[in-house]
Amino acid sequence: MKDTRILLIIGGGIAAYKSCELVRLLRKEGADVTCVLTEGGSHFVTAMTLAALSENPVHTTLWDLKNEVEMGHIQLSRQADLVVVCPATADLMARMAGGIANDLATTLLLATDKPVLAVPAMNVRMWQHPATQRNVATLRADGVAVMEPDEGAMACGEFGPGRLPEPPAICAEIARQLGSTSKPLTGRHVLITAGPTHEPIDPVRYIANRSSGKQGYAIAAAAAKAGAKVTLVSGPVNQPTPPGVTRIDVETARQMAAAVDAALPADVAIMVAAVADWRSAGEAAQKIKKDGSGQVPPLQLVENPDILATLCKSERRPPLVVGFAAETNDVLEHARAKLARKGADWIVANDVATHKMGGEINVLHIVSASGVESLPELPKDAAAALLIERIADALA
């Protein structure tokens, strides 16, 4: 997020206190943050707190002559890369949807020509009210990105959807939104493998695993959004091809190895595929039949080529090679061992005992020679955006 400017509008809800933590996280990521505090917001957090955390002046009113002379509100609305409304209250979203500009925040939102992300937080009944849902639909139709609120216990004592997502998740969504505006991977070729491989036993049976391909496809989508030329070598999955991505479908590990080799050279290789370690020694030409004797057919396995290890040793090794490791135990230890054994620059590890393969959420740990960075628990597309940001930083 280095060198990006965020205009953060803080609405009047109890979740406003979390926006302080958001400012801190965004600053830590290198973003420049300017806060706009609504009248309602000022009942929950102070301009002083936000000024101290953001290290920038905080704007609170349209009618401040000094502010208006130094920085007109139109300019304020245009100088950001992204406008974030957090918390976006029911009232603020209603005014946004209706095009009302009766304070500084709503005037900026109407005047801006920059992408807007709204992060709603409110009581569950207010969130579920048809009027709020109508307003959210209108905002989305107008091109505003509206995050889904979290579900859980609320400050008001009720339970359900309406909670502000945790600041690290908001931060990751902001990174994702910025990824669609800034293009740090322009001119780079990113090679990705995703999905499982299928290793035939006979014409109707195969060896496979539970990989859904979601994480790899999300990374391909994030890389394409970041401006990269993306080649996605995919095992059999049920995922749509992300926009701007060249997809090469394969079935077996050996086909995947050949497709990876053919796609070189690349600036980065991200090997997300859950490649089958073994294949049947001899694929039967015809369906293996039961003969009623209770005898089971002998299934001889042979090891598949290790695509990642081979790539790391290749003369055409991309400057940055990232492997993945889905582990059920001793996650970081296994990741460190794989880093050394395969010769990758990073191993991105995830614990498939706590977050099952095929699910929507992941916790990724980036393991490299310089240590471990653990990303927060995130939906797979937000985790992908953050990983692509780290990759863009590493290449820069």
Binding site for ligand CTP (CB under 6 A): 193, 253, 271, 273, 275, 277, 304, 306-308, 323-326, 338, 342
Gap between the Cα atoms of 184 and 395, Å rounded: 9
Q: Between 8 and 307, whose beta carbon lies closer to ligand CTP?
A: 307
Residue 313 marked in a binding site: no
Q: Between 45 and 273, whose beta carbon lies closer to ligand CTP?
A: 273
Give min distance, CB of 342 to ligand CTP, in A.
Answer: 6
First to last CA, the chain: 13
Q: Which of 83, 85, 80, 81 is nearest to 181 (CA)?
A: 81
Give min distance, CB of 344 to ligand CTP, in A.
Answer: 7
Give min distance, CB of 257 to ligand CTP, in A.
Answer: 8
Q: Between 103 and 306, whose beta carbon lies closer to ligand CTP?
A: 306
Residue 308 marked in a binding site: yes
Residue 113 marked in a binding site: no
Q: Between 78 and 341, whose beta carbon lies closer to ligand CTP?
A: 341
- List the structure tokens of 46: 């102070």
- What is the maximum span of the chain, computed from C-alpha positions, in angstroms? 93
Cα separations (Å) of 219 from 190, 260, 313, 377? 10, 17, 24, 16
Give min distance, CB of 365 to ligand CTP, in A.
Answer: 13
Pairing of β 5-10 and β 32-37: parallel
On whether the CB atoms of residues 196 and 208 are closer than 8 A, the answer is yes
Q: What 8-state DSSP symbol labels residue 87?
A: E
Catalytic residue (one of 20, 156, 171, 312): 156
Residue 165 marked in a binding site: no
Residue 338 marked in a binding site: yes
| Phi, psi torsion values for 125, nearest 5 degrees | -70, -40
Give min distance, CB of 267 to ligand CTP, in A.
Answer: 17
Catalytic site residue 156? yes
Residue located via tokens 């091809």: 241
Q: Between 160 and 200, whose beta carbon lies closer to ligand CTP?
A: 200
On whether the CB atoms of residues 271 and 197 are closer than 8 A, the answer is no
On whether the CB atoms of residues 350 and 378 are closer than 8 A, the answer is no
Residue 356 marked in a binding site: no
Residue located via tokens 């209108």: 138
Annotated binding site for CTP: 277, 287, 305-308, 324, 338, 342
Catalytic residue set: 156
